[in-house]
Amino acid sequence: MSTKKKTARKAVSTGVRYPEALKQQVIEFVEKHNSQKGRGGQSAASSKFKITPLTIATWLKAAGVKPGGSKTAKKAAKKQVAKKAGKKAGKKAAGKATKTGVRYPGDFKKQVVDFVKSYNDTKGRGGQNQAAKKFKLSVLTVSAWLKAAGVKNPPRKPMAKKAGTIKKAAGKPAKKAGRGVLSELEALKAAIRKLID
């Protein structure tokens, strides 16, 4: 019986007694955190001071402090979060606008269009791609400038003509080869006749 009473007393007396100064420090930390961020002071204090959230909740209740912070503090925290989000969104939008919305002067556009015309006049086609490479522009941008200037891409040569010329070219060597073989055969025949005669 005596051993059971001793273990029961030990179990009761295991609770940690915190000094009043520490309690006050934790309560002030929670209030400050909640006034700045709206909520989360209790869990932040728990991780900082290594005290259980239930203990902190008891201290806050005894001090008359609401764990989630006041409504005005929550509203202020929400406004701060919204402002930060708005600033980030504004910066992103500004960054995108500066990257994509490049304004080129009219004389530069004319220079590019003239380059495409002269290239196509000398080489037939391909000026649009060459201009994009030379002036470091996208092909779509050059195409839009050409369309605005009323310049049309040169027509492509029909593929049927090319195929016909290839067939003709392929046929000619075959005929020449045939003639060569025939002449060699005739020469062999003549040599054989001489041997026979």
Q: What is the mean pLDDT of residues 159-172?
A: 54
The whole-angstrom separation of Cα 154 and Cα 127 is 10
User: Is the domain of 22 the same as that of 75?
Assistant: yes
User: Is the domain of 31 the same as that of 88?
Assistant: yes
| pLDDT band (50, 70, 90) for residue 28 | very high
The whole-angstrom separation of Cα 116 and Cα 132 is 10
The whole-angstrom separation of Cα 152 and Cα 117 is 9
pTM over 0.75: no
CB 15 within 8 A of CB 9: no
User: Is the domain of 86 the same as that of 29?
Assistant: yes
Which residues form the domain of 197?
Answer: 162-197
- CA-to-CA dists, residue 20 to 25, 28, 63, angstroms: 9, 12, 12
CB 120 within 8 A of CB 127: yes
Q: What is the mean pLDDT of residues 31-59?
A: 88
Is 184 among the domain residues? yes
Rounded to 10 degrees, the C-alpha dihedral 157/159/165/169 comes to 130
Helices (H), 15-158: 20-37, 41-49, 53-63, 71-100, 106-123, 127-135, 139-149
Encoded tokens for 31: 């209030």
pLDDT single digits (tens) 76-117: 556 666 666 766 665 665 555 445 568 888 888 889 999 988
Residue 153 pLDDT > 80? no
Supply the pLDDT for residue 65.
81
More confident residue, 114 or 66: 114
User: Is the domain of 89 the same as that of 124?
Assistant: no
Q: What is the mean pLDDT of residues 174-187?
A: 70
Per-residue buried b or exposed e for 87-117, using 16+ beta carbons within 10 Å of the residue's own CB: eeeeeeeeeeeeeeeeeeeeeebeebbebbe
**Top-ranked range on mean pLDDT: pick from 35-44, 53-62, 78-87:** 53-62
**Top-ranked range on mean pLDDT: pick from 15-29, 61-75, 81-95, 100-114:** 15-29
Is 30 among the domain residues? yes
Is 122 among the domain residues? yes
Is 191 among the domain residues? yes
The whole-angstrom separation of Cα 148 and Cα 140 is 12
User: Is the domain of 110 the same as that of 93?
Assistant: no
| pLDDT band (50, 70, 90) for residue 175 | low
